[in-house]
Amino acid sequence: MSENAVSELGRRELTRWFWRQLTSMRTALMLLLLLAIAAVPGSLVPQRGVDARAVETYFLDHPKSAPILDDLGFFSVYSSPWFSAVYLLLMVSLIGCILPRSFVYLRAARARPPKAPRNFSRLPASASFETDASPDDVVAAARKALGRSRIDVADREGVREVSAEKGFLREAGNLVFHISIVVVLIGVAVGTLFGYRGSVIVTDGGGQFANSLPQYDEFSSGTLFDTDDLPPFALTLDKVTARFQPFGSPQAGAPREFRAKGTYAASPGEDDKPFDITVNHPLAIGSTSVYLLGQGYAPVFKITDAQGNVVYNDAVPFLPADATYTSNGIIKVPDAQPEQLGFQGFFLPTAVSQGGKELSTSAHPAAANPLVGLNVWRGDLGLDEGTGQSVFILDKTKMEQYQDGAKAFRVSLQPGMAADLPDGGSIEFTELRQFARFQIGSAPLVKVPLFGIIAGLIGLMTSLTIKPRRTWIRARQDGSRTVVDVAVLDRVPRDDLPADLDDFLERFKDALGETEEKATT
């Protein structure tokens, strides 16, 4: 083995090397960039915690790629192991960077300004001039011109030297900026681990919601959240208001107002209180916020089976699919006899004809001419197999579609209209209601990331605007006059250092002139 060969690193040395690499600022910046890249799929692919129905639709539209993306965690990016790993590594890296720099900063903040170098001409900016003032007067003028700088005065072999340093808040701003990133990460992590979020559709006209897990259409929570801790509030939705830009206006159909009104009780036994929720103005119930996410239409259907029994009489939310609120919906009738019934179709708020053909499109999101079109299936809905089903998906594997000759049987209904079904029974569109989609959630320390961002911006502006500067002044007696040497040094290279030196010399000489005037008087 060669004498110059480097010995292998032991476990202790390897651990120390890995820790230094992990806690370097370069690694922290790389992890921050990697975290931003890792978050991109969360914006491109629907997330289960945000919109589970969109995930189901994605699986139907992309049957080959969806399972692969699901195995990679792309539908739950922010709770996936690889995203959490980058998140934790970034937090550890930042803390490992901040702690040593904080100790260094505290030591530097207590230290005295460094001694003046021997040769000022080697510094980036220096100057020399003569004055009639004494060295003591030069020191007094220097103190005045340097202002709030930390100043140290020394007498070296009859030569008076002034050492000054300022700009310590620059590093403090730097530290505050990096600490704020950690605060934001911790705040988001705590809110994610201990918080919950769910969505629910409630129909107006007395639709009710109680804050319990079975009531949610979609629900997700942090790993440390206990669903038994859900606050026991309940609300009743009385009216949903949706206003759009009218026909003929430049932005016809654009939303103008979404509003949901009703009452709520914060806990069982309490008196009902009114609420009025608009977009970006949620209802706060303790630590829980109820947001209005959207609005849609919920036609009310009355369905009888072949035996003449009323087997369904309820509102059915139809989910908007485009800007004109062309909506899709499903009706499941498991109590129908002799076979279960399933309806799938669309709702048009303002139905219009195209070229004299059958009404098939919506021209406006307001309900000016509502129309429902439904295809009908019979058979087994699959509800008795014990597996959960989305209310917005109709399982047709064990069902047969009604036919009308060579084409599928379809009913088209407007409010107040009814239609007979092929094997007996009927369906009636009794009235049109609206629904509100609420997002209900709670995130502990929800304001902490906001405070962290504000503190980070203040720290960043401080670090960018404050100049960390060292200034040295040397005054020596040369006959009847005093020779003054001045030098400045920025710890951060800047192009404006010579100009700043000229400004300082002007203030310095003004102070000397005031001192001389006082001395002569």
* Per-residue confidence band for 162, with pLDDT thresholds at 50, 70 and 90: very high
User: Which pLDDT tens digit goes with each residue over 246-267?
Assistant: 887 788 888 899 999 999 999 9
SS3 per-residue string spanning 56-122:
HHHHHHCCCHHHHHHHCCHHHHHHCHHHHHHHHHHHHHHHHHHHHHHHHHHHHHHCCCCCCCCCHHH
Given a cut of 90, whether residue 222 has pLDDT beyond it is: no
Domain annotation covers residue 55 = yes
Residue 7: what pLDDT?
57
How confident is the model at residue 20, as a pLDDT? 86
For residue 518, the model assigns a pLDDT of 39
Check whether 238 has a pLDDT greater than 60: yes
Instruction: Calculate the average pLDDT of the chain.
Output: 87
Same-domain pairing of 232 and 334: yes
pLDDT at 278: 93
Token digits of residue 16: 């120390």
How far apart CA 488 and CA 469 sit, in angstroms, is 7
pLDDT of residue 164: 92
Mean pLDDT of 78-103: 89
Question: 183 with 213: CB under 8 angstroms?
Answer: no
> Per-residue pLDDT for 517 more than 50?
no
Residue 15 banded pLDDT, cuts 50, 70, 90: confident
Among 7-16, 26-35, 423-432, which is the least confidently predicted range? 7-16
Q: Is the pLDDT of residue 194 over 70?
A: yes
pLDDT at 258: 93
Instruction: State the total domains in the chain.
Output: 3
Going by pLDDT thresholds of 50, 70 and 90, the confidence category of residue 3 is: low
Q: Do residues 410 and 360 make contact, with C-beta atoms less than 8 angstroms apart?
A: no
One domain, residues 231 and 349: yes
- Determine contact, residues 316/349, Cβ cutoff 8 Å: no
pLDDT at 388 over 70: no
Is there a single domain that holds both residue 135 and residue 272?
Answer: no
- Both 233 and 334 in one domain: the answer is yes
Residue 117 resides in a domain: no
Average pLDDT for residues 393-403, to the nearest whole number?
88
Q: Is the pLDDT of residue 520 over 50?
A: no
**Cβ atoms within 10 Å, residue 348:** 26
Residue from 433, 344, 329 nearest 396 by CA: 344
The DSSP line for 277-311 is EETTBPEEETTEEEEEEEEEEEEEEEEE-TTS-EE
Our separate counts of H helices and E strands in the chain read 10, 26
Q: Do 87 and 233 fall into the same domain?
A: no
**pLDDT tops 70 at residue 126:** yes
**1 in any annotated domain:** no
Q: Which residue has the tokens 């092929």?
A: 422
Asked if 302 and 312 touch (Cβ cutoff 8 Å), the reply is yes
* pLDDT tens-digit readout, 42-72: 888 888 767 777 787 788 888 888 889 888 8
CA separation, residue 76 to residues 293, 359, 382 (Å): 21, 40, 28
> Does residue 155 carry a pLDDT above 50?
yes
pLDDT in tens, 506-515: 999 888 874 4
Q: What is the pLDDT of residues 309-366, one digit of tens each?
A: 999 999 999 999 888 999 999 999 999 988 899 999 999 999 887 665 555 788 899 9
Q: Which pLDDT score, from 0 to 100, does residue 58 have? A: 85
Sort strands 150-156 and 159-166 into parallel, antiparallel or unpaired.
antiparallel
Considering the domain architecture, whether residues 279 and 424 belong to the same structural domain is answered as yes
Name the DSSP class of 386: S
For the stretch 257-293, pLDDT in tens is 999 999 999 998 899 999 999 988 999 998 899 999 8
Distance from C-alpha of 421 to C-alpha of 417, rounded to nearest angstrom: 13
Task: Give the integer Cα–Cα distance in Å for 81 and 47.
Answer: 15
Q: Both 423 and 510 in a single domain?
A: no
In a domain, 411, yes or no: yes
Q: End of a domain among 421, 442, 463?
A: 442
Confidence (pLDDT) at 521: 26
In a domain, 496, yes or no: yes
Measured between alpha carbons, how far is 131 from 513 in angstroms, rounded to an integer?
10
CATH number of the domain to which 502 belongs:
3.30.310.50
The closest of 88, 85, 101, 87 to 179, measured between CA atoms, is 101
Same domain, 475 and 369: no
Cis peptide before 255 (omega within 30 of 0): no
Q: Is residue 187 part of a domain?
A: no
The boundaries of the domain holding residue 300 are: 196-442
What pLDDT shows up at residue 1?
46
Positive or negative: CA dihedral 463, 464, 466, 467: positive
Q: Are residues 33 and 64 in the same domain?
A: yes
Find out whether 290 and 283 touch, Cβ atoms under 8 Å. Answer: yes
What pLDDT, on a 0 to 100 scale, did the predictor assign at position 5? Answer: 53
On whether residue 438 sits in a domain, the answer given is yes
